[in-house]
Structure 1
């Protein structure tokens, strides 16, 4: 039995930890009690009961139905969905851009490598907020008004009011096509997982490129045909001083998304470049000695090994992109920070508003970390017994 003496290192360690916990608890109790006392002295209500009251303000863009008569809770939900919308799309596009730029920096083509390096250095060394102001000004100041909109393709118009896109009409066929696409993506991931397990066990897996392509094309097409093969689209058309119909990528959303993708893509490019360079040069030489072209060596030999180095720092870049989306308030995009600021200004519930913002970003960051860490564990080297 351990001797209860101060000279015992275990006893001292437990005592120091208990004192540290007590000190933190005392500070927390002081801050909370002092805050509640000050709020009561100023007749300021506390709590989250305001979430059920009428908001009374409009929101510029919302992925769900919202009216000023709705509650503050629904307004904050709109802000959350707007944040998730820009973060999810931004992560995908920044990953693609960063991967391409990281590979381009290692290209043997001198102009390609130098241009990629110039992009990385320029974007990494200028503030993101300044870049957002630049993209927003370019969209709103240099593009023509709606009546003189530039038609890029049939049904696609660009103006200082954003990008107008055609939208599939509400029909069963398009719904089934969307479900087919999701099912095809899930099956492709499952087949890739089974093929990877077979390779790790010493077997030879069949190439899945054509199989995945067939699923991604065939299942949505089958759903579309099963739903009656609809062809109707809600195409935007000019009416009065603006467009009606279709869907709109607003200048605020477009500038924020473009800025986040361009900025974060530069950091991801350096992560990808470092990961590729971490692979021993002998791997390149051994693969090229077998007659594989350089592109195949990169795709089949180098990148699978580099992923184990790339994924951990890539997680940080995804988290940075998500948290940097809070700068949307500077250009008027109604994300969770913007709507929470409006809410706390109207209700005076500043502490609750800040807590809601913190909880949202904490939940999103933890979710991203869990998903990427799970994938990282699947990609990690497993020592054979």
Structure 2
């Protein structure tokens, strides 16, 4: 059917666009209605079962002990809210250390898989195939029950040089006490930030490679400045040594076997996947780049560090982000070996004591969601920096 001459053209974009907006608005209304109905049903069921709602339990005294605390915590004086922060910090500590260790191990193994040395390449390949095909939970149980539970009892503790002890309860080391420690920590943190800012500014001004001036300035900011402040405030360092008792060891720095088992399991398991990501990224770099570097006189080490790895990062970073997120979420398996993380403390002990499952579970899910989104945002920002820009 033909349109009569002189007639106004029929809009081809307005109606489909309007129809799409109406459909999306209707979908939002339906989802909101379903969510509202679910909230009403949950509230009615909780009221019918005489279960309290709200976050009034946050300021109630906890009344239970926690084996590892990075901040002050007392079973008689601290609240459920304080217990939440203890579990949160324990989770962040083990996840951050595991991410650092897994990244180092993964890069080393991934590069080793492409080594011209037959033995090194096969050992790296065997590590990847063995570790990534065994469930993480079994690996955690192996480290905890088969390795760390085989350590001697307290009475037969292994004495370490410097005043430390090793037994089935964990590793006990001298704990440093630093006079003016908070000031030194702030100065050290400020020096690190200043060193990063200096390097960023130098790269912006065209100094891509670090010069002796850059190294000297950053070394002063990170090491020299805290040393000068320590001399100025007459900082002193003393050590609190662990003392062997009849049934236990008091004082010093205690590293729990649950912490070591979780850290080892997460690091080694995730490193196997990171190694494959690194290997794929290295193989994505054209071979001509390596040959060009060799023709300029670079050896294998500098070629890998200066030519291949920087170009491979654009392929490595996106799947590496997924591995970091998986590691953080896999840390919830800590409950299987008794490590006091957020899930074990908050959705375990606190939930059992208060009975407020909805609030506790929703808050825990919100924490993991927030940290995952923050990690993704940071890695996406870094990914934009390492992406190759077509000219």
1:130 matched to which residue of 2? 138
1:72 matched to which residue of 2? 80
CA distance in 1, matches of 2:155, 2:206: 58
Residue 130 of structure 1: how far off its partner (Å): 0.8
1:328 matched to which residue of 2? 334
| CA displacement, residues 159-179 of structure 1 (integer Å, 9 cap, x when unaligned) | 21112222211312x555544
- 1:342 equivalent to 2:349? Answer yes
2:292 matched to which residue of 1? 286
CA distance in 1, matches of 2:314, 2:215: 22
Are the counterparts in 2 of residues 176 and 227 from structure 1 also a CA contact under 8 Å?
no
Between 61-70 and 323-332, the greater mean CA deviation after superposition: 61-70
The 1:337–1:204 alpha-carbon spacing in structure 2 relative to 1, beyond 3 Å, is: closer
Residue 183 of structure 1: how far off its partner (Å): 3.5
| CA displacement, residues 275-318 of structure 1 (integer Å, 9 cap, x when unaligned) | 11111111111111111110011111111111122111111111
Are the counterparts in 1 of residues 113 and 124 from structure 2 also a CA contact under 8 Å?
yes
Choose from 366, 378, 383 the match for 1:376: 383
| CA displacement, residues 93-126 of structure 1 (integer Å, 9 cap, x when unaligned) | 1111111111111111111111111111111111
Q: Secondary structure at the match of 1:61?
A: coil
The 1:6–1:125 alpha-carbon spacing in structure 2 relative to 1, beyond 3 Å, is: same
Q: Secondary structure at the match of 1:158?
A: strand
**Over the residues paired in the alignment, what is the CA RMSD in angstroms?**
2.5
Between 312-321 and 3-12, the greater mean CA deviation after superposition: 3-12
Residue 231 of structure 1: how far off its partner (Å): 4.3
| Structure 1, unpaired ranges of 5+ | none
- 1:361 equivalent to 2:368? Answer yes
Choose from 251, 269, 272 the match for 1:266: 272
Q: Secondary structure at the match of 1:45?
A: coil
TM-score, scaled relative to structure 2: 0.89
CA distance in 2, matches of 1:156, 1:219: 31
CA distance in 1, matches of 2:224, 2:88: 34
The 1:112–1:213 alpha-carbon spacing in structure 2 relative to 1, beyond 3 Å, is: farther
Are the counterparts in 2 of residues 176 and 220 from structure 1 also a CA contact under 8 Å?
no
Residue 204 of structure 1: how far off its partner (Å): 6.8
1:58 matched to which residue of 2? 65
TM-score, scaled relative to structure 1: 0.91
Residue 255 of structure 1: how far off its partner (Å): 0.7
CA distance in 2, matches of 1:213, 1:259: 34
| CA displacement, residues 67-97 of structure 1 (integer Å, 9 cap, x when unaligned) | 1232111111111111111111111111111
| CA displacement, residues 317-373 of structure 1 (integer Å, 9 cap, x when unaligned) | 111111111111111111111112211111110111110110110111111112111
- 1:206 equivalent to 2:200? Answer no
Residue 383 of structure 1: how far off its partner (Å): 4.5
Write out aligned runs for 1:1-385 (5 A): 8-69=15-76, 70-172=78-180, 174-199=181-206, 206=211, 208-209=214-215, 212-213=218-219, 215-228=221-234, 230-340=236-346, 341-384=348-391
What is the aligned residue count?
Answer: 381
CA distance in 2, matches of 1:36, 1:3: 52
Are the counterparts in 1 of residues 290 and 303 from structure 2 also a CA contact under 8 Å?
yes
2:4 matched to which residue of 1? none
The 1:22–1:159 alpha-carbon spacing in structure 2 relative to 1, beyond 3 Å, is: same
CA distance in 2, matches of 1:186, 1:48: 38
CA distance in 1, matches of 2:13, 2:306: 60
CA distance in 2, matches of 1:118, 1:147: 39
Are the counterparts in 2 of residues 139 and 160 from structure 1 also a CA contact under 8 Å?
no
Q: Secondary structure at the match of 2:165?
A: strand
| Structure 2, unpaired ranges of 5+ | 1-7
CA distance in 2, matches of 1:321, 1:242: 34
